[in-house]
Amino acid sequence: MDTLGGDRGGDGQFRRSSTRISRAPLIKHISNSRKFSIRRSSSSSASVEQIQTSETTEIPPPFVSSSSSPLSATLIGYNEDILLQILPYLPPKSLLRFQSVSKKWLSIISNPTFRRLHLRVNPTTATSAFILFRKIKNMAPELNFISSHEDYVNPMGNIVSNLNNLFENADILGLHSCNGLLCVKFCFNYDSIEFVVYNPTTNKYRLIPRLKKIVEERLLQTSVVNIAFDPLNPAQYTLVCVITDHFESEYRFIVYSSETGFWRESVKRLDIYTEKYYFDRGVLWNGGLHWATQWGSTVCFDIDHECVRSTMPNLPALYDDSSEVCYFGDSGGELYLISVSMPRKTVFNVFSLKMDYSKWDVKHRIDLTLLSIFYPLVVDEELDPNEFGFHILHYVVDKNRGNVMVVLSMHRKIFCYDINDLTVKELANIEPKEVSYRWMETSKYLRRDASKYMWREAYQHVETLAYI
């Protein structure tokens, strides 16, 4: 299925500019994609083995006893006590579909008490799909998706379409995701900034009260908003708006609680002359929102106390001056930072932060050199000789199975890679796309390979029935 990113315009600066705005690249998902095993052999440096799927034996339908009848099924279907023992264990996608079974089922599933029960039993259902959002100069802001399963291609297409058409005369300027809820920054009629909390699973949204009483409109142009939603506490969510105040040379933090419905500014601020943090990509972990810089510094905003933590540990000596952050996220209850060292662009160091914030531990060292043999076009040297060969979009640690899987974006392709058994599954082909823009700090013209996505541009889709 071909999917085209949302090119509905962009922010006011793009619309008023005479610069030609190009559309987003086309993403074509690969149907019936199979896994390939990459392994070394004695005759060559590497080889590829396609994993053959065994023929599945058709399972006969279950034996239906005479006691099973439409009448007994009807009795069960209308017995609320029995339904409340079964329905909370079903995934959100199924429950939304089952709302149409009857008025009784609709009443149960749409009830806020049942939704809270479902979140306690089944907090979130992580999918193998990702929402893609990015803003590249001279290219229309792109809202798109990627899915590793064909079953999710059409639903994700609907989610992107719904979000793109949520409002008329409004452009998406920013997006953040946490455990299934999105916080979207909209610009209405080129000048009015609004924040919206959106649940893509239920297609419900809430317009958040405006910040004008606390922050001037001019400062809202530089703002980014992160959402913090803990499924174990589904009754509320928190928004943290980070304002870049160049006049005061500070980063300001303003907090919104869905429980109170009000914004409140944090007393503690951060010096703007520190390193530039990726404030648009906060990670909720251990009760706080965490952000990283390109060079490995991190900062944490404690949500309960509404303040910035005073200190954060430095990365180990393995992280040197030639290293850059290429991924920052959580998995399996741990917070990970992944770096890549120059000039090698295929060796990654994985660090994990201690729960008590005492230090970063070295967890893994991922060498994708073997993978680059089979994908020699991972870097277009003529386009950008300093560009990474691979971008890590997602990093998953399965502690039960003891394996690690990464979703990688490279030149014209996105795929999954299991670093333990060295298997590859290609997900999508990306249309070749090059974007040129002027870098303000040096006044030089740079070119970016727009067929590659970065970790800051991918958000895992999580299903949740949470009310907003």
Identity of the amino acid at 263: W
Burial class (CB in 10 A: 0-12, 13-18, 19+), 214: middle
d(CA 271, CA 268): 10
Q: Rounded to an integer, what distance in angstroms lies between the CA atom of residue 113 and that of residue 88?
A: 11
Identify the pLDDT of residue 74: 61
Mean pLDDT, the chain, rounded, equals 80
At residue 121, the pLDDT reads 83
Share of the chain above pLDDT 90, in %: 36
**Residue 77 pLDDT greater than 80, yes or no:** no
Closest CA to 186 of 174, 204, 199: 174
Residue boundaries of the structural domains of the chain: 78-121, 123-463
Structure tokens at 18: 């005479």
Quick check: 340 and 365 in contact, CB under 8 A?
A: no
Average pLDDT over residues 259-275: 86
Burial class (CB in 10 A: 0-12, 13-18, 19+), 384: middle
* Amino acid present at 423: T
Q: Tell me: the pLDDT tens digits for 117-175? A: 888 887 766 778 999 999 887 677 889 999 988 888 999 999 999 999 999 888 899 99
The most confident of 69-78, 254-263, 343-352, by mean pLDDT: 254-263
Q: Poorest-confidence range of 52-66, 157-171, 261-275, 277-291? A: 52-66
* pLDDT reported for residue 376: 73
Task: Supply the pLDDT for residue 20.
Answer: 45
Assigned token pair, 89: 């264990």
Helix, strand or coil, per DSSP, at residue 107: helix
In the chain, DSSP finds a helix count (H) and a strand count (E) of 9, 30
Query: In this predicted model, what pLDDT tens digit does every residue of 361-413 receive, in sequence order?
Result: 999 888 888 887 778 765 545 545 556 678 899 998 887 777 889 999 988 89
- Which pTM value belongs to this model? 0.83
Q: Give which of 23, 28, 22, 10 is closest to 157, Cα–Cα.
A: 28
- Fold entry, domain 123-463: Neuraminidase (2.120.10)
Cα distances (angstroms) measured from residue 49 to each of 60, 210, 368, 374: 33, 56, 17, 12
